[in-house]
Amino acid sequence: MTHLRILMGARRRGILNRVGTQTSLSWTLLLALFGALMGGLLLLGHAAAPGLLRPPMDLVTAIGMNTPGGKLPAGAAALEAAFWLAALASSVLNFRVMELLFRRKDVRALEHFPLQLSALYVDRLLAALGEALAAALLLTPFFIPLIWHGGGLAAGASIALIAVGLLTSSAIGFAMQLGAGSSLAETEALDPSIARADRPNTASGSAQVFLYAPGIALAVSVIIILMAKLALGEVIKAGEPTRALGVGLGILGIGFLVALAMSYKYFVRAFPRMSARFHEVDFIGHSVSASHQTSDFLKPRLGEALLPTSARPVFRSYALQFGRRYMLARWSYGLGWLAAGIALFRLSEAALPLWLVVTLPAIAAATLVNPWTRLSSPRIRPYYQDLLALGKNDDTRAAIAFGFREILLFAGPYALLAAIAQGTRSGDWPGAAALAALALGGCIAINGAVALLWSTLGRNRAAELVAPALLAVSMVVVANISLLALAAMQVLFCLGHLKILGASTPIPIGTTPHSPGE
Amino acid sequence: MDNQPRLSIKNLVKRYRRLVAVDGLTLSIGAGEFVGFIGPNGAGKSSTMGCITGLLAPDGGSIEVAGLNGAENPVEIRRHIGFVPQELELYDYLTGEEFLRFVGDIRGVSGAAQDKQVEELLELTELLEARHRLVKEYSGGMARKIAICAALIGPPELLLLDESFVGLDPESTLRIRRHLQNYCDQGGAILLSSHILDMLERICSRVVILVDGKLKRDLSREELDELIASGKYPDLNAIYLEATGKII
């Protein structure tokens, strides 16, 4: 039996076992959530369909879309929306590739077994492509209403763009991450007498390639998705498949295959060594015996003054552990600000409408950043709340206050960029400030919603993952209708903080720290 | 038993930023040796084991397992190693038996040989009744037992056990200890990191003491017995405390 068959058999068995352990209640909840999400996207798509099918006047990525008559074809705006959604999903998927390759428990559990690397490669690739396909399927309902609004071709082209774009993006992310990692994985043991500067630096410097790789992969992916959009735009313009489509698909196919071939080469050549280097970069903060990490507990942490004295030590432990465990993730905020800055200053309002400007940080906070799940992970939240004489709600209060601080750290610079971009463009500085407040408010509202959740359910991983995402989608829907309604919604959820900060009765603790690696 | 060392480490260096966890360690373990690997917390024991298995990348030196160079054959050497890490990472959604069979398949143990080994190991660790439960549902001690079973399937030529007896009940500890001694008698080699010095003193054929990443003492069974018999040291605890400079 080949290792691939063995591994696929184990994966299949694992999935079946996992499905078998779910209760009917959890299935009902899951299906209800799925139904709500799909229904919401269908409704949103239905509301947006007339606009998406109207011939657009001003699209920054519409080069090559002009018809001889000078008008853009109906459906080009739908394709434009598909392009941005694909780019957004691609940014998530490119970072997910890092998780799939190195961090997830299903790969860590296999690391010390003599599994053939070709089998592990196929396993990881299938996982990455599976996630890309799932993301594409999740976005599809937004474009389905175009069909009953008379835009069948636009719907098909948009869905095809998202599916093909995300699959190619995952393959590119794979190749970039593995190519970057292989540059750190020397094939021979090093002579310790070699000068320190000449060795791979696993803590910073060259090790940062792990962090840069998803960013570079995103840039390449966006270019490829843009090319696919141009090819599909020709189809919309002509009303039938064209030669340009064939050429575009050919380029995509070649790009996909080249990415797979390169990633396979890097994987089988150096995966164990690059994985080892990755874990050193990723978990460098774990050794409490390292002298440079000790004696940092007495320093007051920004934001702890908001809390009662009894909760401050817990807040400090969250601050220290989160900063050390997610050092790499925090550096990636910078990449987000850079990308956001380029988008905010370079894109026109047609390409980056206000509703998207104000909800973008909330979407990222709910998906990419999500500090709430991380705060509940066992690496960050130990069992001390059961062991020490802490006040009844100190742990939850400290966690929500730290979540608030982390969200400000992530969304604050974005809000500032948005205010400057909008202010310099329109000259309406009060309006720009209001826009920034809405962008920031969305993230704080999610933190407030999590506070509500924790105060009623306790810490629950599924809820911490799903609720922020649902709220972010709801905010996108509301922002499309009215920014004032969005502001009201944000205020409402921000009040959720009071539920925890002012609680006098014990808040449910919820599940103990989530299983490691989940 | 052949004469080729099961494990050969030469001048191993492992750094974490400014911290030198393993500092020029040289160590060789032959067939049939049961080596106790002791040292204070942070002495570099787990880092050494991580480097041997390839889960950590050495910053210097070389490692050979059953004659295979670790840097050149990072996957191949794992065929010869059974490893139980301190922090377990298991396949949560397989049952205990499915997990063992999966590892058996990966190691090329199939058919009747696999059936026999799985039964024996489950019986050894008293997991027969829990064989159809998901690993996720196992207690800490049960999870450690199934990890030990997985390391023993094959069996590989070298076993690396990092604090593997933590959380095990005394009965299981005794049964597994006996099994490990049989394993060594049949030519296997073990590197066992533990702080249970009384147990190591009884079962190990050799004791290695690591302090600040450096090899402080390397005592054969005979040398250990002689030191204790001389009356200078009452037991391994005293030797350890002197080697680490922590006489109390």
CB pairs under 8 A between A and B: 127
- Could you say which of A1, A106, A273 has the minimum Cβ distance to residue B105? A1
> What value does the mean pLDDT take over residues A268-272?
89
| Residue A56 banded pLDDT, cuts 50, 70, 90 | low
Per-chain mean pLDDT for chain A: 82
Determine whether A212 is exposed, middle or buried from the number of CB atoms within 10 Å of its CB (0-12, 13-18, 19+). middle
With CB atoms and an 8 Å threshold, state whether A273 touches B107. no
Residues A368 and A346: their CA atoms lie apart, in Å, by 23
- Could you say which of A112, A115, A190 has the minimum Cβ distance to residue B83? A112
Contacts of A116 in chain B (CB under 8 A): 75
| Residue A341 banded pLDDT, cuts 50, 70, 90 | confident
Is the Cα dihedral B119, B123, B129, B132 positive or negative?
negative
- Could you say which of A13, A277, A290 has the minimum Cβ distance to residue B17? A290
The amino acid occupying position B156 is P
ipTM over 0.85: yes
Q: Which residue of B has its CA nearest to A276?
A: B56
Residue A462 pLDDT more than 50? Answer: yes
Please, are residues A479 and A358 in contact by the beta-carbon 8 Å criterion?
Answer: yes
Measured from the Cβ of residue A377, the count of other Cβ atoms closer than 10 Å reads 19
pLDDT value for A301: 83
- Could you say which of B13, B81, B105 has the minimum Cβ distance to residue A6? B105
Q: Which of A336-350, A464-478, B139-153 has the lowest mean pLDDT?
A: A336-350
pLDDT value for A207: 61
Residue A199 pLDDT more than 60? Answer: no
Bridge partners of residue B84, in order along the sequence: B161
Q: How far is B243 from chain A (nearest CA, A)?
A: 20
With CB atoms and an 8 Å threshold, state whether B78 touches A113. yes
Is the Cα dihedral A100, A110, B26, B193 positive or negative?
positive
Contacts of B102 in chain A (CB under 8 A): 6, 9-10
B131: CB partners within 8 A, 6+ apart: B95, B96, B97, B122
The one-character DSSP state at A376 is: T
Q: How far is B171 from chain A (nearest CA, A)?
A: 27
pLDDT value for A197: 42
Secondary structure class of B85 (helix, strand, coil): coil
Residue A130 pLDDT more than 90? Answer: yes
Q: How far is A175 from chain B (nearest CA, A)?
A: 21
Residue B145 pLDDT more than 90? Answer: yes
Contacts of A8 in chain B (CB under 8 A): none
Question: Most A CBs within 10 Å: which of B22, B75, B83, B149, as the mutation test of the A interface?
Answer: B75
pLDDT value for A240: 80
pLDDT value for A256: 87
With CB atoms and an 8 Å threshold, state whether A192 touches B60. yes
With CB atoms and an 8 Å threshold, state whether A187 touches B105. no
Q: Which of A89-98, A375-384, B219-228 has the lowest mean pLDDT?
A: A375-384
| Residue A14 banded pLDDT, cuts 50, 70, 90 | very high
> What value does the mean pLDDT take over residues B74-82?
91
With CB atoms and an 8 Å threshold, state whether B94 touches A17. yes
Per-chain mean pLDDT for chain B: 91
Residue B55 pLDDT more than 60? Answer: yes
With CB atoms and an 8 Å threshold, state whether B62 touches A189. yes
Please, are residues B163 and B194 in contact by the beta-carbon 8 Å criterion?
Answer: yes
> What value does the mean pLDDT take over residues B53-80?
89
With CB atoms and an 8 Å threshold, state whether B59 touches A190. yes
With CB atoms and an 8 Å threshold, state whether B81 touches A112. yes
With CB atoms and an 8 Å threshold, state whether B74 touches A289. no
> What value does the mean pLDDT take over residues B64-83?
90
The one-character DSSP state at A104 is: S
Residue A72 pLDDT more than 90? Answer: no
- Could you say which of B19, B74, B102 has the minimum Cβ distance to residue A6? B102
Q: Which residue of A has its CA nearest to B150?
A: A113
| Residue B208 banded pLDDT, cuts 50, 70, 90 | very high
pLDDT value for A186: 60
* pLDDT digits 0-9 by tens, A410-430: 999 999 999 999 999 889 999
Contacts of B16 in chain A (CB under 8 A): 203, 280, 284, 287, 290
With CB atoms and an 8 Å threshold, state whether B85 touches A112. yes
Of A148 and A503, the structure prediction assigns the larger pLDDT to A148
Secondary structure class of B227 (helix, strand, coil): helix
| Residue A183 banded pLDDT, cuts 50, 70, 90 | confident
With CB atoms and an 8 Å threshold, state whether A109 touches B89. yes
| Residue A383 banded pLDDT, cuts 50, 70, 90 | low
Of B62 and A194, the structure prediction assigns the larger pLDDT to B62
With CB atoms and an 8 Å threshold, state whether B57 touches A277. yes
> What value does the mean pLDDT take over residues A391-418?
90
pTM above 0.80, yes or no: no
Q: How far is B107 from chain A (nearest CA, A)?
A: 7
Q: How far is B68 from chain A (nearest CA, A)?
A: 13
Q: How far is A192 from chain B (nearest CA, A)?
A: 5
Please, are residues B91 and A3 in contact by the beta-carbon 8 Å criterion?
Answer: no
Contacts of A106 in chain B (CB under 8 A): 91
Report how far apart, in Å, the C-alpha atoms of A130 and of each of A97, A127, A135, A171 are.
11, 5, 9, 11
Residue B77 pLDDT more than 70? Answer: yes
> What value does the mean pLDDT take over residues B232-244?
89
pLDDT value for B219: 92
* pLDDT digits 0-9 by tens, B122-135: 999 999 999 999 99
Residues A487 and B126: their CA atoms lie apart, in Å, by 60
pLDDT value for B100: 95
* pLDDT digits 0-9 by tens, A282-296: 765 444 444 444 556
Share of chain A above pLDDT 70, in %: 83
**Helices of type H across A54-151:** 76-98, 105-108, 117-139, 145-148
Question: Most B CBs within 10 Å: which of A106, A113, A268, as the mutation test of the B interface?
Answer: A113
pLDDT value for B2: 65
Q: Which of A451-460, A484-493, B108-117 has the lowest mean pLDDT?
A: A451-460
Question: Most A CBs within 10 Å: which of B102, B148, B162, as the mutation test of the A interface?
Answer: B102
Q: Which residue of B has its CA nearest to A283?
A: B16
| Residue A4 banded pLDDT, cuts 50, 70, 90 | very high
Q: How far is B86 from chain A (nearest CA, A)?
A: 13
Q: Which of A298-312, B120-134, B163-177 has the lowest mean pLDDT?
A: A298-312
What domains can you pick out in chain B, each with its CATH number?
7-244 (3.40.50.300)
Residues A89 and A394: their CA atoms lie apart, in Å, by 36
Q: Which of A244-258, A494-508, B37-51 has the lowest mean pLDDT?
A: A494-508
> What value does the mean pLDDT take over residues B181-203?
92
